[in-house]
Amino acid sequence: MKPKHLVALLLVAIALVAAFFAMHRNDMDSMRKSQEKIGTPVLPGLDLEKLDTLKISSGDELKVEIARRGDIWTVANLHDYPVDPSKLRSFTLDLSNMKTMKEINSPDSQLARFGLDRKDSSNPPFKVELASSSAKIAELTAGKKNTKKGSPEFGGDVSEGRFLMIPEKKTVLVSDKTLYELENEASDWIDKTFLSAGKLKSASLSEDGKTVWTAARTAENEDMKLQNVPEGREADSSKISEISSALSYMSFARIADPKTADDVSGLDKPKIFTAEDYEGIRYIVKIGKKDNSDSYAKVSAEFAGISQPPAPKDEKPEDKEKREKSFQEKEKKARDKTDEINKKYSPWLYLLAEHKVKILSSTLEDLLKKPEEKKDEKKPGQKNEQESK
């Protein structure tokens, strides 16, 4: 090849390389900028101390609104019932600590791929709004979870963050946080803690001012026994055992509107389950009508008092002081727990699941073993062995 031809080819190659870099300069700049943003906060400068309201919407539908009411956070669109503090803390910390893992330039026509198309009514994105009492703090739109293929043996696809958009930015971000709470309903955000009684000393059910049944222990280390068992009948010990632990793991199914009238909830004529534990607290559960399979209920507590153990013979002054101090501490603990129960639960109207209410509202007959048919007792029309021969 002649030198002049070689020079010409070299010049052409240089021109092509220059043209290539000129054409892709913007893409390279975008890639470089995207790389620079990896690990940077999605919501820089987010000050959670100023937060007073958190709203999560799906399309035009408000899913949950959480608001600060003095020192308490509540679910505003669920009767202002207290929020689960651990869930709120986890979600807001995720928002505050969330980092950008990738930035994608996407035209509006492609936003549906990421679940970020606001016009897509069948799969609308989530909108998260954070505000103080006087101004908006931050806002973001959240789409699909970013997933990668996983082994079917270990649950299939694995979520790695979520696709997001920030109003002031036109690019799609991939965050390092999946923000699972976005998919929760308002009822999933409420504080689910409920009554938790100590070992029950006694329990009873009353209706229309009359006692239906009573069960009690004569000593703390003994089993609970049904009182006044009808002659010729026997208590079902498994049912009595259920009563003795009925308030140990109590839970509620739903929150009802606290403004529901008593004649609607049935609490104008309730069944009243009353139980006293060895901590000196009396629990009162009023049970009303059913709403589907769940029953309306209200709960409260009273300080029933605790017995001070008798002084040992020849008790030393310092031992007496310790014993009296211990008694006073137990009494204070019981009074404080009673006050906490009434403050936290008594204002609310609950709906209890059928399996929780069943044992509390049992009839006396429910607590008795079914009478066994006597072996020598003939049924109508039945011949005995001698007559059949």
Over residues 78-96, the pLDDT tens digits come to 999 999 999 999 999 999 9
pLDDT band at 299 (very low <50, low <70, confident <90, very high): very high
pLDDT higher than 90, residue 320 = no
Nearest Cα neighbor of 162 from 116, 112, 107 is 116
Pairing of strands 254-256, 349-352: antiparallel
- What is the distance of C-alpha 272 from the center of its chain? 27
Give the least confident one: 99-113, 202-216, 289-303: 99-113
The residue that leads in pLDDT, 49 or 37, is: 49
- Given strand 136-148, what is the order of strands in its sheet? 81-82, 72-75, 61-69, 53-58, 126-131, 136-148, 158-165, 172-175, 100-104
Give the least confident one: 8-12, 105-109, 295-299: 8-12
The residue that leads in pLDDT, 170 or 266, is: 266
pLDDT higher than 80, residue 19 = no
Range picked from 9-23, 25-39, 109-123, 291-305 for highest mean pLDDT: 291-305
Please name the residue that has the structure tokens 């807001």: 92
Q: What would you report as the CA-atom Rg of the chain, rounded to the nearest whole angstrom? A: 34
Number of other residues whose CB lies within 10 A of the CB of residue 125: 25
Give the least confident one: 151-160, 178-187, 229-238, 307-316: 151-160
Residues in the chain: 389
Please give the pLDDT value at position 389. 47
Per-residue pLDDT, averaged over 136-141, amounts to 95
pLDDT band at 41 (very low <50, low <70, confident <90, very high): very high
Number of other residues whose CB lies within 10 A of the CB of residue 103: 20
Q: What is the largest CA-CA distance in the chain?
A: 133
pLDDT higher than 80, residue 256 = yes
Please give the pLDDT value at position 380. 56
User: Contact, 302 vs 285, CB < 8 A?
Assistant: no
- Distance between CA 203 and CA 226 in Å, rounded? 9
Token pair listed for 87: 């869930």
Average pLDDT in the chain: 88
pLDDT higher than 60, residue 376 = no
pLDDT band at 310 (very low <50, low <70, confident <90, very high): confident
Please give the pLDDT value at position 23. 57
DSSP state of 367: G
